[in-house]
Chains A and B, each alone.
Chain A
Amino acid sequence: MAERTDLHTQQAVTGVRVLWMGDSIAGAQAPALEAALRANGVAFKDASSDGGGNIVAGDHPVTAKVAADTWKALRKNLSSFRPTVIAYQLTSYDWGSARQQLSAYRTLARTAGDAGARLVLVSAPPFKIDEFFKPHETAIKRAPAMAAKAADGTGADYLDAAELWGGDYRAGKAQRAKDGIHSCQQGSAAFATWFTGQLGKLTGFTPLAPRLWATGPWTGDKRFVKLGCG
């Protein structure tokens, strides 16, 4: 009962509103993150994409088109959702030169600042670099450094998720689904626990115990069915 009271109290007081951005990897993390943040009294909107979600346009026609769509969607979300925190998990499509990546992350920080929101850049989990991603491996591996650099100069926050996932997608710590790219329920819950803790430190709330949200209906989300997670 005490926990329930804590939950209600917290819902009333955090005032934090998180806009969650990223690709389909972030999308698979979103159901758990939503459950965790809502339980902790944080408003949440999932703006991750099922295909792309990148803000770095790069020189590839596909990523350029997707980036344009992502920026357009962001502008809409800023006015409709009015987030206090924009959390962008670096995507598997953040292809481009170092300058293009740095520029895109800095622009995002500026956009967030203009909207009165805090930008939190989160590195992506390790994922399988197949033949499709292989030509862009250098850019994918460089992106976290560029995000950290952008955060340094703009007042944004950079969270290195390697402390949660490690660096090898095949290792148990990375908790990848059968496709080697996305996470299943356990991995998503792990991320939600970790990220909620980080967000609590940044915005000043103490996260509730995971057992209060981690086994809820979100575990049946159709995204996990698609991934063959059970």
Chain B
Amino acid sequence: MASVSPRDRATASRPEQAGVSRRAHIGALDGLRGLAVAAVLLFHAGHLRGGFLGVDLFFVLSGFLITALLLDELGRQGRLGLTAFWQRRARRLLPALTLMVTTVLLLAWALAGPDMLSSALLDAPWVAAQSVNWHYISEQIGYWNACGTRLFAHLWSISVEWQFYLVWPLIVAVAGRGPHGPRRVALVAVAGALVSLLLMIRLGTAVDTTRAYEGSDTRAFSLLLGAAAAAVPVRHVVARLPRPVTDMICVLLLCGLGLSWMLTAGEKTPGLFTGGMFVHSLAGAALIALLAQGSDGLLGRVLGSTLPRRLGELSYSLYLWHWPIYLLLPRPAAAPGGVRDWAWTIAAIGLSLLAAVISKAAVEDPVRLRARWATGRRGWAALVVTAVTAVGLWAAIPRPVSGAGTVDVSRLDQL
């Protein structure tokens, strides 16, 4: 779910190869990310039943961008600065996450019931360790039936991405060396994606599909297909296609993705875990590869226009904030799809946008762009103060006593 940093943009767009402007390239991919986050927001609000596939598209985008970065660095320098890579990822992703988690803990303490607060306090350390997806899986906290009480339920995907960021650069560092390095990386990515698909098919037959849905292994194919699309051999194939053909394929692919978001009827849709999600990722990877090569086409210009691009630039913090806001904002008992229901949706998305804009302006951009307070000794001091505050807050919030007063014994005596 990482957004595109200026540094990412410089390498992901590769203008010298495609012969188009760097700005147009990035605009199209940011715009695609904007569409994906809109789908997720609508899905979680109950208006787009296949909108959860937007997360799948995030994964493909991340796999593509990160791999493009890594291969570019490897090509230029002959080696990867892994520590610097992880530092950049942390600088980009952790400040917004920390701000959201601490603020939501405070809000939950003030506004939520004991079940929601106790779940948030229980989940927070796993969020911090970037492994909340495995926490949910091991505790059998089903994504599809228990997320209504988990303020951090959506962060499973952030954990999946982090785990990918930890492992994939190591693989690229080994497989990507030498003259045929990028080709080897592409082969490893495709092979890994196929293994991941087999795992999803095997695990997706369970009654509760959370293991298949949130597992880092089962979801790896989306990231790896994005990675394969970023590898040089794939890019060369794409670059040979005539522009009108590219444009037409792009439009068809985007229409296909949009249709799948509208027609997929939740997690029990036949075929979802037995290839459906894989095909979605594959289509997403193809679209991203094509847009990266020729985003000055019709679709590239539309996706790169102001609204989708701005939404894409906000997508990370918007994704972080929307779910807790959805849960904490009282929802009227209104008919789904009715006027009152849509009014709530607009209010919830509006609040999420506001929180995302504040987060980006106050925390993300200063840290990412290395404002004075976010670098050097001041930066370290800010990091320590933030960590101590977050841990202290988590420890200080009184643990609610779940279940107290929930049974009226006099009613049992009447049985």
Chain A residues within 8 Å of B, Cβ to Cβ: 49-52, 61-62, 65-66, 93, 131-132, 164, 178-179, 184-186, 189-190, 193-194, 197, 209-211, 214-215, 217-222, 224-230
Contact = CB atoms under 8 A, between A and B. Distances in A.
A62 B207 contact: yes
B408 A51 contact: no
A196 B397 CA distance: 39
B113 to A, nearest CB: 6
B402 A190 contact: no
Given A62-B207, A228-B116, A184 B406 contact: yes
B365 interface: no
A210 to B, nearest CB: 4
Interface of A is mostly: helix
B23 interface: no
B140 interface: yes
Contacts of B266: 131-132
Contacts of B146: 226-227
Contact of B413 (A131, A210, A218, A230): A210
Nearest to B402: A220
10 contacts: A164-B415, A178-B148, A186-B411, A211-B409, A220-B401, A220-B402, A220-B403, A229-B115, A230-B114, A230-B403
B167 interface: no
Contact of B412 (A66, A131, A190): A190
A230 B115 contact: yes
B387 interface: no
Contacts of A189: 407, 412
Contacts of B149: 225-228
Given A179-B145, A225-B115, A225-B149, A214 B409 contact: yes
Contact of A190 (B114, B142, B404, B415): B415
Interface of B is mostly: loop
A184 B411 CA distance: 14
Given A164-B415, A225-B115, A225-B118, A185 B206 contact: no
Contacts of A194: 415
A172 B402 CA distance: 23
A196 to B, nearest CB: 10
Contact of A66 (B114, B207, B268): B207
Contacts of B140: 50-51
Contact of B403 (A52, A179, A219): A219
B265 interface: yes
Interface of B: 113-116, 118-119, 139-142, 145-146, 148-149, 205-208, 265-266, 268, 401-404, 406-409, 411-413, 415
Q: Which of A184, A214, A220 has the most CB of B within 10 A?
A: A220
Contacts of A229: 115, 403, 406
Given A189-B407, A224-B115, 15 more contacts: A51-B142, A51-B206, A66-B207, A132-B268, A185-B403, A186-B406, A197-B415, A214-B412, A215-B407, A220-B401, A222-B402, A226-B149, A227-B149, A228-B148, A229-B115
Contacts of B113: 228, 230
A212 to B, nearest CB: 9
B388 to A, nearest CB: 28
Given A62-B207, A186-B406, A228 B412 contact: no
B13 to A, nearest CB: 43
A209 B407 CA distance: 14
B323 to A, nearest CB: 15
A51 B115 contact: no
Nearest to A27: B140
A62 B412 contact: no
A225 B206 contact: no
A178 B142 CA distance: 15
Contacts of B412: 189-190, 193, 210-211, 214
Contacts of A66: 206-207
Contact of B139 (A61, A214, A222, A228): A222
Contacts of B208: 50-51
Contacts of A218: 403
Contacts of A51: 140, 142, 206-208
Contact of B411 (A132, A190, A219, A221): A190
A230 B142 CA distance: 18
The 10 nearest A-B residue pairs measured at CB:
A219-B403, A51-B207, A51-B208, A220-B403, A185-B406, A210-B412, A220-B402, A52-B207, A226-B146, A228-B149
A43 to B, nearest CB: 22
A228 B149 CA distance: 6
Contacts of B118: 225
A185 B404 CA distance: 10
Nearest to A192: B412
